[in-house]
Amino acid sequence: MAGSGDDLGKDAGIDRVRAQILNPAWAKSLQAIASEIQKVFAAAQVAYDALKPGLDAVASAVLQIAKVLPDLLDTLPPNIRGLGAGMDLDRILDLATNEGIQFAYVPPTAVISKILAVPDPGARRRVIRNNARTILAACESELALVARGDLLRHVAFAEHAALAMRAGYRDASQALCANLLDTILADQLGPLKKAVTSQKSKPKVDDFSVRAAITLLGIWSAHGQYFPEQGDLVPRTYSRHGTVHGVSRRQFTVVNATLALMHVTALLRLLDSQPAVSSSP
């Protein structure tokens, strides 16, 4: 039986394809293409073999980072850990050192994000002022977590400072915190106090854990030099020396009272995370 017109069309198409495949010129082109593909694969294999040691090293490093990263994160105060992808430890350390902002344990994560988001010192101080009540509540909560027996007498005074702040007596709170900070540093750090407060040299970050560095660099900055007898103006930023030796409206402010309490709170929480040093021989 004769095939239909459609079948004849299909047969003709197959014949044309078969003719092209059998065409010597077409077959030569296919061979050239196949040869080029083989060259590409061969080059890729050579490149892979050359890069493999490096790739293995990178993979090994990534695995090591993955193993230690949880431990590293655990050493950070919870409020900084909460920043997640927004964490910028270099910037936090820079602002602690150069502007005396405390970031360890307080303020809350949301306030840290606001501080990091603004462009200049004045804007950062406005963030602290606008969130002073929130920061105060965070300080009270963090102080309540301190459990080491030898720190509790300091915690009691820090809580008095927080109560004074809450009642609107911020000047009294700032003055108490400045003196309390001196007392805690002398009581707990002993000879190391000088390393944390002396302006002859900046504490080396590598000498401390990240948690301690963040805490202590802010405190170091708060001990910036102030010599009223040499005609220095009372600092506007929080200053331990300005608070003690330059009582004025320039120094006693909502922002500075808040920072003073933050420094005391952070130091107590840092010390509470460490074992007490025995005084026995």
Mean pLDDT of the chain: 85
Q: How buried is residue 136: exposed, middle or buried, by Cβ count under 10 Å (0-12/13-18/19+)?
A: buried
Give the per-residue pLDDT at 57.
58
Tens of pLDDT along 166-197?
999 999 999 999 999 999 999 999 888 988 99
User: Is-cis flag, bond preceding 107, omega within 30?
Assistant: yes
Q: How many residues does the chain have?
A: 281
Q: How confident is the model at residue 216 (pLDDT cuts 50, 70, 90)?
A: very high
Residues 6+ apart with CB under 8 A from 22: none
Tens of pLDDT along 115-167?
999 999 999 999 999 999 999 999 999 999 999 999 999 999 999 999 999 99
Q: How buried is residue 55: exposed, middle or buried, by Cβ count under 10 Å (0-12/13-18/19+)?
A: exposed
Tokens 């600092």 correspond to what residue? 235
Cβ atoms within 10 Å of 251's Cβ, excluding its own: 24
For residues 2-15, average pLDDT: 55
Phi-psi region of 84 (alpha: psi -120 to 50; beta: other; left: phi over 0): left
Q: How far is CA 1 from CA 4, 13, 90, in A?
A: 9, 21, 87
Q: Is the pLDDT of residue 203 over 60?
A: yes
- Determine the distance from the C-alpha atom of residue 194 to the mean position of all C-alpha atoms in its chain, rounded to a whole number: 26
Domain chopping of the chain, boundaries = 7-70, 76-272
For residues 82-99, average pLDDT: 94
Tens of pLDDT along 26-72?
555 556 666 666 766 677 677 667 766 665 555 544 444 344 344 45
Paired tokens of 28: 């030569």
